[in-house]
Amino acid sequence: MSLTIAIPKGRLGSQAIEMLKAAGIGESIDEKSRKLVFDDEQRNLRFMLLKNSDIITYVENGVADIGISGKDMIMENSADIYELYKMNIGKCKISVAGIKGKKIFKDDTIIKVATKFPETAKKYFNSKGQKIKIIKLNGSIELAPILGLSDVIVDIVETGNTLKANGLEVFEDMYPITAMVISNKISYKFKRKEIKEIIELIRKEDEKYG
């Protein structure tokens, strides 16, 4: 296969796959099957469905030439990859949130922060001079303050529905997020033409979401 493309599973993945299909390059992908690799023989493309947090690892190591990843994962991993195209899908933000009406920020206390983005959280609170203790979780972060595991959370907010449904609110917005097309550095050197062609097809569809 001339190009291997890493696609995330889940919410962002569904949007990305829909876009690829509309762009005429994702026809072979069947999200409902349990298969994880799909070949487009005609276009010489191989698609791999991966967990969101693994896309960067595959691209950085060159197992995938390009991939679609949320900016949240890129920030968290500070990977040695190129960010080639900022997409209009996957728009959300990373925010500090906690129990509604209970915002506590005191310089001299150590705030307990539950998150799946420890590096991003550290960087953010460091820059504010706020001391924190990270509690690393892998999902359902919103439960942490409710159950007393943490004071606040650092997590993705898209519609805000999850926060609301759990009695939480945004205390501070940290960073805006979108999906990005990323590339392995060596792939970009040797397969630049193919990569640019694919990005051009994606861009034409993506602009409709702008």
Nearer to ligand PRP, 129 or 139 (CB): 139
> Angle, nearest 10°, between helix axes 10-22 and 192-206?
100
Sheet holding 111-115, edge to edge: 132-136, 111-115, 152-157, 92-99, 168-177
Q: How far is the CB of 194 from ligand PRP (least distance, A)?
A: 31
Provide, rounded to whole angstroms, the least separation between the CB of residue 195 and ligand PRP.
28
- In Å, what is the CA distance from 96 to each residue of 15, 100, 134, 138? 26, 12, 13, 16
- Asked whether position 179 contacts ligand PRP by CB under 6 A, the answer is no
Each residue 185-204 as x (binds ligand PRP by CB under 6 A) or -, in order, gives --------------------
* Residue 210 contacts ligand PRP per CB under 6 A: no
Alpha-carbon distance of 182 to 70, in angstroms, equals 10
Cβ within 8 Å of residue 178, ≥6 positions away: 70, 71, 86, 87, 88, 89, 90, 91
Binding mask 126-145 for ligand PRP (x = CB under 6 A): -------------xxxx---
Q: Which stretch binds ligand PRP (CB under 6 A): 1-9, 22-30, 54-62, 157-165?
A: 157-165
β-bridge mates for residue 134, sequence order:
113
Residue sitting closest to ligand PRP (CB):
139
Residue with tokens 């925010």: 95
Residue 192: which H helix or E strand, with range? helix 192-206
* Residue ranges in 37-96 that form contacts with ligand PRP under rule CB under 6 A: none
Q: Which is nearer to ligand PRP, 101 or 139 (CB)?
A: 139
Which one of residues 147, 159, 208, 210 is an interface residue with ligand PRP (CB under 6 A)?
Answer: 159
Nearer to ligand PRP, 26 or 90 (CB): 90
Q: Please say whether the beta carbons of 69 and 8 come within 8 A.
A: yes
Residue 52 or 187 with smaller CB distance to ligand PRP: 52
Q: Which of 40, 155, 205, 206 is in the footprint of ligand PRP by CB under 6 A?
A: 155
Q: Do the beta carbons of residue 172 and residue 93 sit within 8 Å?
A: no
- Note the residues at the interface with ligand PRP (CB under 6 A): 139-142, 155-162
